[in-house]
Structures are given as C-alpha cells and as structure tokens.
Amino acid sequence: MNHSDLTPTLASTSEHLSAAPTLVDKLLAGNRRALARVITLIENQGAEAHDALAALYHSTGRAHIIGVTGSPGAGKSTLVNALAKAYRQRGYTVGIIAVDPTSPFTGGALLGDRVRMRDLSGDPGVFIRSMATRGSLGGLAQATADVILALDAAGFQRVLVETVGVGQAEVDIASTAHSTIVVEAPGMGDEVQAIKAGILEIADILAVNKADREGADRTVTALHMVLGSGATMRQVQHHGRLLDAGLPAPAPDDGWTPPIIKTVALRDQGVGELLEAIEQHRSHLQVSGELQRREEDRAHAALIRILQAAVLQRLHAAVPARQLHQLVADVAGREIDPYGAADRLLPAILSAE
C-alpha cells in the first residue's frame, strides 16, 4: 500500500498558515521530516504550532486512535511493537506515540520506547515519536492530543498511544483514544491494583500479556469476575471527564462487552486476536453511533485543555511574579485562603488583553 495514496490534500494552505506554509504542505504530502518538525513545534507550544494545527485540522478525523495503558512492567511497549507489526502486515500505516516519564530533577526523559521498538525503524509506513510528560498527569503529555492530530493529517490509519504506566492517573487516555486497551500481567497483582485505580472502567479491551507465565488463567478469571460483578466504583466518561458515580452500577449499556485476550507479545502470540478485537470495537463504534459521542468527548477535552493553558498564560502575563509569589506566601501563611487568593487574581486575568 502506497502511503502517499492515503495522504489527504489541503487546498489554499497558505490562507491558514502564516509562518511556514511549505512545512504543512510537505507533511500532507507524506514527508516524514516535515512531520517531525511539526511535532517539535507542537511540543514547544509556540504560535507556529497553533497555526500549523489550524491548517492541518481539516485533514484530520480519519485515523483510529488506540490507547494502550497499564501498570509498569506489564509489557505495553512490547505489545505496541507487536501490534504495529501486525497492522503493517495487513497494509495499514501506523503512527506510534510513546509517552515517557520526565525526571522531576533534570526535566529530561529516558525515551526508552524508541530503543525497544528499533525493529520498526526504517519502515516508511511506521512513524514513532517518544514524548516526555513534562509534569503532565494522567499518563499523557499535554501535547499528545495535538501530535495525534499531526499523525492523523499525515495519513496514518492507526495511531497507537502508549501511556507512561503510572497506575492511578492513567484514566486520562479515555478522553483521548477511540479504543482503550488495558494491559495486565500475571503475578503482579495488577488486577487488584487496577480495581483500586478504576482503570478497568476505561477498558474497551483487556489484554493479559505474558500469558505464558504461571497465574495467567487466575488473572483472566479474576478479571472476568470483576467485569461481571460490577462491584467496583464506576467512573463514567462524560464529555471528556471521568465522573465518580460513587455507587456500584452496571457498565453503560452500549452493547459492547470488553473482551479479555491472552497474549505473549514477545512471541507474537494472541496479537492477531487482539488486533481483531480492536477492529471489531472500531466497527461497533461506527455502527452504534458511539464513535460520534467519543469524538465529541475528545473535542470537549481538547477545548478545556486549551482554555486552561490560555488562562495560565494570561495569569503569568498579567500578574507580576513578585505579586504572585507574595500571594502564594500569604496562602501558605494562612493569611488568606486559596479561594480568596484566586478571587483576587481573576479580575487581572479577565482584563488581560
């Protein structure tokens, strides 16, 4: 399959992009270097990035976004690698975003997923980008959603997003992906930890990786029991937010029961079955109308994220650092409560041009 045949075109790109129209044109034509440069702009979050995304946005909405999350050590990277190879064998183009944790001391990131996925390098139908969280919670970097848009516009049909794997904050992927895979592993107590974290509530598909290890069947049985009982606290995804219902409740009746699939990613065992489950879920989303709702959830989450960033930018622009530090000191010294401090700052933010 020719990657360039899959790439959409955009007329009058220069009307949308003021800084570098040729860069967007090259991206839409399938130029990998241009794609890498646009992603770098996105990560740096400058005005050029916003212009590029505005120009690209009309060429998005074609990719199926697959989130892969789970505890560290469950084999997420190996499974993503195996899935990408399986999709390539079927002729699909694949974009991969691997989110790595940022060091709280140096601000750097290991970016180790690119090391683990070396056997995919050189394939023109695969693009891998490692991203640092830069302090973002929820298992995803702030710029991840925008990078997904760039990969989508570049014509990649399947976009795999691997989260950091920090456990209880991983639910952020639910407002980003169309299909979410939660990866568990036997012998790690993952199913219990996942119940505590509410992470099972976001799973469209469950993969028990390293299924050749002792205890795999027990893990599968435990997951079946949890999914069947509905005994955990439900977190319902609504307009991009995960709201605690607070009481045991059945899963939303959208006609889809999350399948539990055993895999051994290192040996490519069960990977084909996992791929089929993803494609079946994609078809289900389209037929049931759930895809449109998830697209609205993604749009809502993106809008809230952009507004939050804009408010913070206005705060830093409108309020001198010394004044902000003094207000923080007053809150810490119990001279004013945090809500009162925020009320003092809001007029300056709202009046900022």
Residue 173 near residue 167, CB atoms below 8 Å: no
pLDDT at res. 352: 67
Q: Under DSSP, is residue 44 helix (H, G, I), strand (E, B) or coil?
A: helix
DSSP string, 49-98: HHHHHHHHGGG-S-SEEEEEEE-TTS-HHHHHHHHHHHHHHTT--EEEEE
Q: How far apart are CA 150 and CA 272, in angstroms?
A: 27
Give the chain's end-to-end CA distance (angstroms, integer): 50
pLDDT at res. 175: 82
pLDDT at res. 267: 94
Calculate the CA 88 to chain-centre distance: 21
pLDDT at res. 222: 84
Instruction: With both helix axes pointing from N to C terminus, report the angle between 321-332 and 338-351 in degrees, rounded to the nearest 10.
Output: 160
Q: Which residues contact 286 (CB under 8 A, 6 or more apart)?
A: none
Residue 134 near residue 142, CB atoms below 8 Å: yes
Q: Which domains does the chain have, with CATH numbers?
A: 1-59 (no CATH), 60-289 (3.40.50.300), 305-351 (no CATH)
- Token pair 């107590």 is found at 189
pLDDT at res. 115: 52
pLDDT at res. 234: 35
Residue 16 near residue 55, CB atoms below 8 Å: yes
**Mean pLDDT of successive 10-residue stretches along the chain, which has 353 residues:** 44 42 88 94 87 94 94 89 96 91 43 57 88 57 86 97 66 84 80 58 92 91 76 35 35 76 95 98 96 90 86 88 94 96 90 69
Q: How far apart are CA 244 and CA 253, in angstroms?
A: 17
